[in-house]
Structure 1
Amino acid sequence: MEMAQHGGPPLRDVVAARRSQRETRRNSWLLVINGGMVMMAYTFISADLVMPAFVQTLTESSILIGMAGALMRMGWAWPQVFISRIIEPRPRKMPLLIWAGMARSVMWILVGVMTFFLGGLKPAIFLFLFMVFYALGTSLMGVMNVPWMDLMGKAIPASHRAKVFALRRFSGGVMSMVAGVLISYILSAQSGLAFPHNYAVLFMLSGSGTALAVLTFGMIREPIEKRTRAQLSLKNYLISGLSLMKEDVNFRRLCMVQFLWGFSMMGGPFYVPYAISGLGIGVVYIGFYVIAMQFSSVFSNVAWAWVGRYKGNQALFLYGTCLLALSILIPICIVYVPNHLLNFWGTEVDLRVVVYAFTFIFSGAAQSGMYSGRMTYVLDIAPADRRPTYTSFMNMFMFPQGLLPMLAGVLVAWISYQNLFRISLLFIPFAAMLAYQLKPVIHRED
């Protein structure tokens, strides 16, 4: 092969490099578009905003309200270790993601149909059936996450991941705000949809959005990497994954930080029920809080991109934890805000509605930073041939946290919403100290 002029690289290498750059740009933009579709679909069934209000309409049990959040966390976490063992040696991960994604799409459309026809008949029986399908849907999310993370690692070079994640979060936030506007309208009297038909529409919209997200992701050209690892037995695979906690200090600290985050965020599923039953805020404001949360999530990415570039991705953990503390302080201090009406363009709004929105503003910014930091950090510290193991075990260690919303439900019934929020706040200093100890990781080009 001829060398380029002036002793440059071979022409073949130049062509290959340019082709690789085009593929990276194409895959990056598809991931950004996919992020918008994913977040829009998820917002329609948000475990922190929509689901608590929906379940509260069917039952007054705070434990069952907490179960919705528990099923989201546990259902998402439990399949990942088993799936990662199976697909890690395989060169292609896309087929599994497409299959699981389309199954989840069909399931939510069917749940919407079931809600439309059965939701208003026998609440107890319907709630049981809904929880079963909800657990299935969250489990399919867990199945999808393993190939998704590996594809992210393969398709996007390490030096580009933080930028792609930030843009993905941006598009997701924009589409979530669009979903928030639709949620406000669908749950309002102006839509003409009464319970349960209004929530049935939200569920079917989520299923349709999931289908669009899967189709977009399926357009990504998956790079084929040579795999040197054979599939281990389940026992040996579990041993190898658990040994990461001992062998990799950064991985151990990452898992400990996210475990403490779980305790700090266990009151999250009860912010909306507290607003409705404790403060008398109308269900119509759920959409407003969705918009506030996603607006914060979107525009905080500008700050997070700066922090990641100049302070390192590990700094996102510390700053995100501090904002999480502020999100907990708002519902604790809201009792001191007077019940005063404000006038916005001819519309009267309770001052507490406005102040309470900062709970979701701080929470959106915090979760955006923590999510971006967590995803980029684990991909940075994981060897290329062990990405599924690192990501799945990181998420598996979150499985016990799935019980925390149910524990929170017990605490609400026992000691009140306010005391639950105070207990959540106690874990913030420990999470901040561990986040401070995370070491910066030098990006490796794949």
Structure 2
Amino acid sequence: MAAPAKTVSRRRVFYIPGYDPIHPRRYRELYRTESAAQSEISDYTVTLSARQGTERYGWNVKGLMDGVHVDASVDVLVWSDIVRDSMDTSIPATYLQLMRTAWVYIGTGALWRLMRLRKGPVIAALYPVGMLLGQFMIALLLAGTISMVGKAALIPLLGLFGHMISLASAVGAFVWLMRWFKAKDGKFFAYYLMHDYAYGAATRGANTPALETRIAEFSDAVAEALNSDADEVLVVGHSSGAHLGVSVLADLIRAGRVPADGPALGFLSLGQVVPMVSFLPDAHRLRADLAYLSTQDALTWVDVTAPGDGCAFALCDPVAVSGVAPEGKRWPLVFSAAFTQSLSPERWKALRWRFFRLHFQYMCAFDNPKDYDYFRITAGPMTLAQRYRDRPASKSRIVKPVNKFTSIAP
């Protein structure tokens, strides 16, 4: 491919993770290993170097693609501390979250409307409910068995004291097994996902004060980059980070902080789960930001999902399905990363049932990349607008509004 007449030589990238409590070095290692794999497949060069002494965690990237050298600086916009605080709950508190979250989604009718979009992410949302209830029942069954056996063996010998011993043993076994399940949540992901869905449901879709403060800080960081000598400023929002990116950029443009003669501004939303929040009654702020951002000329917004990702609302236009598409809507451009076509049959077979791994595939290497390549986007010589200027939206995208709650003001 010939290099375009106007190429990017310097890029600032801001990555907004999803609901993830893990240190951002995870994203650096993912970028390092997967860019190396994609470089071998696609015959280009991407190298990473550490960055020290900066306000935000990040790394530097040098890309050599299509004969053009590109320097990119990647910053992770961290909100993992907010995530960890929301996850710092006891076992009883988590089960209370379960009941409250189920009440919000079922009682408002949001769950049934979400199922009309994609069943995959709704099943993913129901998984922690079923798993936590299953764990509770197993622990209860163990406790009941121990109590029954204990009573049969001890009451004839010890009377009331034997009854007390069997009861204490049953309670101890119940508590031990419940704690064991929580300790092994790195395998089950039940508590993790429950906290994820409970976070938005706790406020019925509104942002917490802590999250609003962080969004303002993210906007400041992007605004600073827009006044630098970069050729492009690219915001990447993954999973829950996609709807944070919507609000960050809407605030930025509303405030007139995007210079007309500054760097090109791009927004890449990946594996988005916007409807999980925008379909809730009090998500006025998010719905207003979606409607506003969809009409703006100041940026290019590309939304990439894939039906193979069961955790995302694949090919659902987040503005349209939320019922807030205004006159003059331009964004986002919605298309599929087409996992089944861009991954080899062997690799697809190996990954097909690894749902959480597939949810991160957008930032990983593809065996047969088509027009979506995360590393060309972040370290290549074309802006997001140039790369997808002539790219049509996927014909199978979903644009029918199904949201019951469409107000954009409290």
Tell me the TM-score normalized by structure 2: 0.25
Tell me the TM-score normalized by structure 1: 0.24
Whichever structure has more helix as a proportion of its residues is 1
Whichever structure has more strand as a proportion of its residues is 2
